Homo-oligomer: A and B are copies of this chain.
Amino acid sequence: MARKQGSHSDITGPRVRDAALRLIAQHGYAAVSMRQIAGEVGMQAGALYNYTPDKQTLLFDLMKDHMVALLAALKDLPSRTEALARLEDFTRFHIRFHVPRPDQVFVSYMELRNLSPENFAMIEAMRRRYEDALEDILRAGEAEGAFDMKDTRVTAMALIAMLTGISNWYRADGRLETETIETIYWDLVRKAVTT
């Protein structure tokens, strides 16, 4: 069901979201005005409301899209048998998914405070599903006898924080390739949890 190529709403909607994502990542949701977003796209502020009912929904949609894409990509991971292999897949997947999306990571982890309570609950539930996926792998490894840690839930949170923290220092023009980063972090993760 391809739409007409020339359709404006097909192209302007994404441009609005791209501009909003970039500006919010840089300055923060509360510090960015609808006028700024409109200016970035090259339109007037009033026209934005053809693409979002309000500013809050625009933020929510950005975060929701990120989490939906993350969970969908996670689902496509090959489900290997051994926990160690599954943990390596998860670790490399997390890095490969997040490193090319610094703005989404920034917004998704920094703007939770600015979501309405209902929207927050929805994002939080999706994040929880992601954390649980890692926790499942860790528990499987414990059951196998391959992993050993003091607290499985806390370890899952610790590993995700460590991996997501890459966005604190990573620069696309820096000295490290994504593949190298994967190797460094997988070494840390593996040693931290194995017996």
Is A178 an interface position by the 8 A CB rule?
A: no
Closest to A187 in B: B150
For the residues of A in contact with B, the DSSP-based class is: helix
Chain A contact patch, size range: 35 or more
Task: Give 1 or 0 for each of A160-183: 1 = CB within 8 Å of chain B CB.
Answer: 111011101100000010001101
- Show the binding face of A for B, using Cβ within 8 Å: 26-31, 110, 113-114, 149-151, 154-155, 157-162, 164-166, 168-169, 176, 180-181, 183-185, 187-189, 191-194
Enumerate 12 A-B pairs (CB-CB under 8 Å) in ascending A order.
Answer: A28-B28, A29-B30, A149-B184, A149-B188, A151-B180, A154-B181, A154-B184, A155-B184, A158-B162, A160-B165, A165-B165, A191-B192
